[in-house]
Structure 1
Amino acid sequence: MNKFNDKLIFHIDVNSAFLSWSAADRLMRGENIDLRDIASVIGGDEQSRRGVVLAKSMSAKKNGIVTGESLFTARKKCGDLVVVSPDFSLYERCSRSMREIFSDYTPYVEKFSIDECFLDVTSYNTSIEAALSLARDIKDRIKSELGFTVNIGMSDVKLLAKMASDFEKPDKIHTLFKNEIKKKLWKLPVGELFMVGKKTVPRLNNLNIFTIGDLAQYDVSILKYHFKSSGLTMWKYANGIDDSEVKYNKYELKGISNSTTLSENIKSRNEAYKVLLTLVEHTATRLRDIKKCCYCISVTIRNQEFNDSSRSRTLNNATDSTQEILDTVKKLFDELWKGEPIRLLGVSLTNLCEDNFKQLSIFDISSVRDERQRVIDKTIDSLRSKYGETSVIKSVLLKKKQYK
């Protein structure tokens, strides 16, 4: 990302979706064996010999089993293969749950397939560090809350984001920005380019085109002669040219939320306050970014037993103030927390309205004070947008220096 105003697109792809979803569901139901750790496949009716492999585990792949082959031939390759029938209603529920997590971060979510989505998260594009932190947060939430893993590809265009998500798997984050094309994309076999089918590869090879780089540097007029309009499309894709937008459902955003699963359980109020401050800063910044205020604030705590508890409060006046939201969040936390170790903390802002919510009066001291706070918040937002997330940090979050 050379500019802070470049688009930031994520392509999120579930690793071995059908198998992962079936495995996660079985584990939640009390089974001890994870389908992902053994030779297993998702497939149709094995007895009729008409069933085919829809998804496979890594162990099954090592036995030579490929997606699309018959279960009959797959069984010949691996005698102890575990075959599980597909459950498409389960898969749709898992897909929906994943998209609900995405909606906590952005309303711009495009369902590309049941196990793939594009996200426009340009509002987070303040620095590469901020973008990677966001991707890790989304990936880790899906893993901890839903029980399966995803790959995330990051780029400034949709095409390259999708290509990046296909790099090394599973449970990985990869970047492929325009300035990384020559280094990361051009060395790949031409058959790995999006939209280049198996039948097209031999025709490209006959033109001495073997890598994506070969295609990108080829005479586009010759490609158009041999492949018509598809030749121009392939050439554009090889050069990372794609101006398509993330297609999303234009529904009214109902709320903004953020949560984090902690690497170690928190046992002190002050440590919880620090985490809550970070969550509030993210949610409040997003609230101001979309020019909204909220009436309702909620806090969620998950303990070490994986039990969730929540508490919310509706304000008399809508707000987008970081400090006002934080004050309410702390009060809710104090009312909710019973002293048990904390595994997850979450903050939600709902019941949104437009941000032109207050008519200031010079005789209303509290209104003037609130407006001063809003100016401070927006100044901090602007600095972080220009110089990165870490350009302005609250002192409470700074690590104490050790003095000799």
Structure 2
Amino acid sequence: MEERLIFHVDVNSAFLSWEAARRVKEGLPDLREIPSCIGGDPKSRRGIVVAKSIPAKKYGVTTGEPVALALRKCPDLVCVPGDFALFDRCSRAFKKICASYAPVMESFSIDEVFLDMSGTHLIYPDPVAVAHEIKDKIRDELGFTVNVGIGTNKLLAKMASDFEKPDKVHTLFPSEIPEKMWPLPVRDLLFLGKASEQKLLRAGIKTIGDMAKSDEAEIRQLLGDKNGRQLYRYANGIDDSPVRSEREEAKGYSAETTVEEDIVTYEQALSLLLAQCDVVAARMRRDGKKCSCVAVTYRTLDFKTRSHQKNFEDPTDVTEEIFAQVKKLLYECWKCEPLRLIGVALTDLTSDEFRQMSLFENTEDREKQKKVDETIDDIRRRFGNGMIVRGSTISTAGKVARKARAQLDRDLEGKQER
């Protein structure tokens, strides 16, 4: 069986590079060569550094810190607001170039892709040479640089692209793991978080090599069975995940909303989440399904996406029960950092009508909630989605949630028409 060949292409300091490339075309100073950052209004407590230049990094400016603090570190710092329309155009442009080289491309984020180059050796006999070709084509045509990592799986390609930057090509093949990957600190292992890092350090496991050479049972005991097994495999360079050109078909119901104005309060977030719960639960009830798991997903201004989920004791299709869990999840996982996207998903579906009754359950209230849902669903089917709205989504969340809720209604109408 032929060995796989995977590329990971990652834009260097994407947001700053994209804004810098535009400014260079306009004859303005290159943001990459001066102390600069992409961030919010320094007069606002919400203004944070989303991306920074290398000269700014030398002053101690860090991603995620308040712009006001960054300016105290570097008074000459040039702070430019993010232009998400520009970011989207640049993302599409670099991905179009990448896709022209590979049979299969998977978008990993706005500024990262995986390319499955397996079986292309007759067209591209030298993988390193074609990686340089892709990198240089993006730089010459679009005005910004990328790193390309090459490996036999997605993990190794991703790890390789994170080596020395910018504008570089790196390989990380299985034979190179002891030299290039194992000496790295454990925090550099893909998907290994701070909490796991601290557990490993306390156990005397400081490098990825230490982890790879440990007993798997010890790692699973330290990090949990499932997480420990996966990270142990990663430490040994093992990753069987495929490069997918399209996301797998969803096995649930979900709604996500990208907002025009940042979500910064629980009031805004909960109003929008209730509207989303209303939409996805209605779709689920229409199909005669119930869910056993609900998840809240949100994306911060630096495009980092986080998700938190919880299982129900019994499957449900009641909007209020779903929303009650969503509120708990939000308070557990979100600390009011500005958001540009938020969403909810219902998974682990069943059509089973059986439900275990609890001695402490208020069955009368639950039946009332189900009747409310049925009435709302019926009115929307007969007269349209906009004819009835839950009161708690109207007045409390302001313009952000109202605009987003209107888009949700349009989305649901479109799904019903199809």
TM-score, normalization by structure 1: 0.59
Offset from partner CA, 1:5-43 (integer Å, 9 cap, x none): 311100000000000000001122x22300000000000
Give me the identity figure in percent: 51
Residue 87 of structure 2 corresponds to residue 94 of structure 1: no
Instruction: Please give the alpha-carbon distance, in whole angstroms, between the structure 2 residues aligned to 1:149 and 1:179.
Output: 28
User: How far 1:128 sits from its partner (Å)?
Assistant: 9.4
Is the contact between residue 6 and residue 125 of structure 1 (CA under 8 Å) also seen in structure 2? no
What's the counterpart of residue 112 of structure 1? 108
- Equivalent residues of 1:209, 1:215 under 8 A apart: yes
User: Which residue is equivalent to 1:21?
Assistant: 18
Distance 1:99 1:195 in 2: 24
Amino acid at match of 1:44: G
Any gaps of 5 or more consecutive residues in structure 2? 248-418
Q: Is residue 56–residue 74 contact of structure 2 (8 Å, CA) maintained in 1? A: yes
Task: Give the match for residue 243 of structure 2.
Answer: 246
Aligned residue runs from structure 1 range 307-346, under 5 A: none
Shift of 1:125: 3.3
Quick one: distance in 1 between partners of 2:198 and 2:50?
26
User: What is the CA-CA distance between 1:123 and the residue it aligns to?
Assistant: 2.8
1:330-369 correspondence runs (5 A) = none
Partner of 1:58: 54
Larger CA deviation: 36-45 vs 116-125:
116-125
Paired with 1:166 and 1:132, the residues of 2 have a C-alpha distance of 16
State the secondary structure of the residue aligned to 1:244: coil
SS at match of 2:126: helix
1:241-286 CA-to-partner distances (Å, cap 9, x unmatched) read 1000101039xxxxxxxxxxxxxxxxxxxxxxxxxxxxxxxxxxxx
Maintained 8 Å contact 1:108/1:249: no
Distance (whole Å) between structure 1 residues aligned to residue 23 and residue 213 of structure 2: 49
CA distance 1:115–1:201, shift in 2 (3 Å): same
1:78 is aligned to: 74
Runs of 5+ consecutive residues of structure 1 not aligned to the other structure: 251-404
- Residue type of the partner of 2:117? V
Whether the 8 Å contact between 2:4 and 2:152 is mirrored in structure 1 is yes
Q: Decide which of 171, 177, 187 is 1:181's aligned counterpart.
A: 177
Does 1:152 find its partner at 2:148?
A: yes
CA contact (8 A) 1:9 1:121 kept: yes
1:141 equivalent to 2:137? Answer yes
Distance 1:160 1:236 in 2: 12
Task: Within 5 Å, give how 1:269-280 maps onto structure 2.
Answer: none
**Does the CA-based 8 Å contact 1:63-1:77 persist in structure 2?**
yes
Tell me the distance in 1 between the aligned counterparts of 2:4 and 2:233. Answer: 19
Q: Does 1:209 align with 2:197?
A: no
Give matches, 1:187-198, under 5 Å: 187-198=183-194
RMSD: 1.6
Task: Show CA shifts across 1:177-230 (max 9, x none).
Answer: 111111110000011000111222111011110000000011111211222111
The equivalent position to 2:39 in structure 1, one of 40, 43, 49, is: 43
Indicate if the aligned counterparts of 1:124 and 1:131 stay in contact, CA closer than 8 A. Answer: no
Letter in 2 for 1:56: K
The number of residues matched between the two structures is 246
